Chain A
Amino acid sequence: MTLGRLAILFTVLSLLGFGGGNAIIPQMHSDVVEHYHWITSAEFTRFFGLAKLAPGPTTTMAALVGYAVAGVAGAIVATIAVFVPAGILVYTIGHGWTRLRGNPWRERFSRAIKPVVLGLIWAGVVTLARGAIDGPATIAIAIAATIILLRTEWNQALLVLGAGVVGAFVLR
């Protein structure tokens, strides 16, 4: 059943989501595009772009995947699945946290996980690019975005909005 699959898929993704939303991009793409064929690779990156355009956590893009698969019910199930189980885990661990403070394993784990998460984030960049980069105009937008973000403090959402306006004229 589709709603059950959505619930399991996003629960697992969120519980494995060390390093936050961007680190789960490759696995989410593999599940919803390559395995279940619920959406295309291009739609996947567009959903990600919409989630960057809207306020709130980027992980809320799960709602759009759920909506594409099973309407409003799918959106609600996917959103609950991607936020609530991880929330319960964090709540539970947060209570024992004071006892972990100063524990050398905490520091070790924290140090070790950073390059692993970064590898996943780089894989996510490539995954998203495969769905979005399809010609000179999209290459130009992505490169311009990268340079602007590395050199200025401009607001991300305004940049996404600007790219949307450019796209409405150039990429139609």
Chain B
Amino acid sequence: MVRAKASLAGIATSFGRVSATAFGGGQLAAIRREVVRLNHWVDEETFLELLALAQLLPGSNPTNVAVLIGSRLRGFAGATVALSAVVLPGFVILMILGIFALQSHQPWVGGALRGCAAMAVGLTLANAIEMTAKRINAIDIAIISAVAVAVLVLHASLALTLAIFIPVALVLTRGKNDAV
């Protein structure tokens, strides 16, 4: 249910603020804060439902949520404004950082980039461990391992991996409750 009237400028401001200030995994929480708590544009239940849909569909989760909420609030224009606002400030900041880092030949810049890259490996590893810890059962572990082997060892493409393993997983997880 849509609770309060949202202007396009308001949508741009809220999602722009998220893009400019919220990092990585923190973005979904930041969007929830803007649209549910600060502006009362949608209620908690609607937000969770749109989030579930955003995670189910292909594409980056924060941008998917932005499109769905913008569309609920102000139709196509709202979706367009929300998507642009959630991408543009982050894009500009990343480009400035990237151009500086790529053009610099200072050794400390190279060192800093290597440090950030090593940290990013840790971020994804911790994320993978946390998500896997919720699904310690034979079927999930078998599917996770088979997919990882297909991609890393057999160099299966993403399209082929999805085409093979989604049907396999649909069969194997039939009647199994979600662990989460």
Contacts and interface: CB of A to CB of B under 8 A. Distances in A.
Contact of B117 (A49, A82, A116): A49
Given A18-B162, A120-B161, A170-B111, A132 B60 contact: no
B119 A163 contact: yes
Interface string A59-100: 111011001100010010001001110110111011101000
A142 B125 contact: yes
Given A49-B113, A160-B116, A56 B19 contact: yes
Interface string B152-180: 10010111011001100110111010101
Among B50, B72, B118, B144, residue most surrounded by chain A Cβ atoms (within 10 Å): B118
Among B56, B68, B159, residue most surrounded by chain A Cβ atoms (within 10 Å): B56
Contact of B112 (A24, A116, A164): A164
B71 A146 contact: no
Nearest to B141: A115
Among B27, B63, B120, residue most surrounded by chain A Cβ atoms (within 10 Å): B120
Interface residues of B, number: 99
Contacts of B120: 45, 48-49, 52, 128, 132, 160
Given A110-B52, A113-B169, A157-B24, A150 B129 contact: yes
Contacts, number: 365
* A contact face: mostly helix, strand, loop, or mixed: helix
A77 to B, nearest CB: 12
Interface in A117-172: 118-129, 131-134, 137-139, 141-146, 148-150, 155-157, 159-172
Contact of A83 (B20, B87, B111, B123): B87
Contacts of B152: 26, 123, 126-127
A3 interface: no
Interface stretch (B2-10, B32-40, B92-100): B92-100
B11 interface: no
B66 to A, nearest CB: 8
A50 B91 contact: no
A13 interface: yes
Contacts of A60: 87, 90-91, 94
A133 B77 CA distance: 44
B48 interface: no
Given A112-B169, A119-B146, A156-B25, 4 more contacts: A15-B59, A42-B117, A138-B118, A144-B122
3 closest pairs, A vs B, by CB? A56-B90, A167-B115, A145-B122
